[in-house]
Amino acid sequence: MNFTKMQGLGNDFIVIADRAELPADHAELAKRWCDRHFGIGADGVVYILPSEKADFSMRIINADGSEAEQCGNAIRCVAKYVFDRGLTEKRELTIETIGAGVQPVQLQVEAGHTVSVRVNMGEPILEGLRIPTTLDMNPVIDRPIYADGADFRFTAVSMGNPHSVIFVEDAPSFDLHRYGPLLEVHELFPKRVNVEFATVRSRDHVDMRVWERGAGPTLACGTGACATLVATVLNGKTDRTATVSLTGGDLLIEWAADNVIYMTGAAEFVFDGAV
């Protein structure tokens, strides 16, 4: 099986585009291939598949074998892959995901190669039971949560996958490994949750670190950056357009007047291989 290693702000993926459907053993394959010592090494495996509704569809299998409904960094990698490899000539195309449906993307192309991708990430889901949380509230803003002797307050957002955004004093130095795994499986989140720790630097700049459901700490999370902007706006901390700085780099996130979230950022080719 041929693959391409790609990354979006350091959130890295094994991209496979030569299949018509997921392999039956996709969960076990992801666990083996994503291992950074005994495999290829990645945060997840992304399959680019045919779609009856869009130009392409994508399926994302996390490093632990679970499936992610959506991934903002992965969709930028998919868009770059299909254009740069000649699978489409479109600079505006659609990609189907299981969590957010059909998503339009716009490519900025220079010298025949994609340099950045702007993704229509859809409208945020704010109803507690749909995110899902166990809280029958809309929206779920600044709610208490407890883990390992510490009290936090979270705002819940779904971008096709569930997120819990927690404001901390200094996100870059926050102890992800201590609290991330506990909050991921907290009883408030029946399908587990991605956890973002955010520090607002100004009305248009936020630092964020993420513990991803099924992957652990990653260098970037596109849907998490979108959820973080929504949370900062709901809590009155930023304007509706801001740069979200992650370990792997920056994403520009816009919450437009039509309630749609737009994410703009880069994606990069790393290497090709076969397994």
Residue 77 annotated among the catalytic residues of the structure: no
- How many Å apart are CA 158 and CA 124, to the nearest integer? 6
Pairing of strands 194-202, 162-167: parallel
Q: Among the options 34, 71, 77, 226, which is catalytic?
A: 71
| Residue 107, burial from CB neighbour count under 10 angstroms (0-12, 13-18, 19+) | buried
Q: Among the options 34, 77, 221, 226, which is catalytic?
A: 221
Looking up tokens 């998503």, which residue turns up? 103
Residue 71 annotated among the catalytic residues of the structure: yes
Catalytically active residues, by annotation: 71, 221
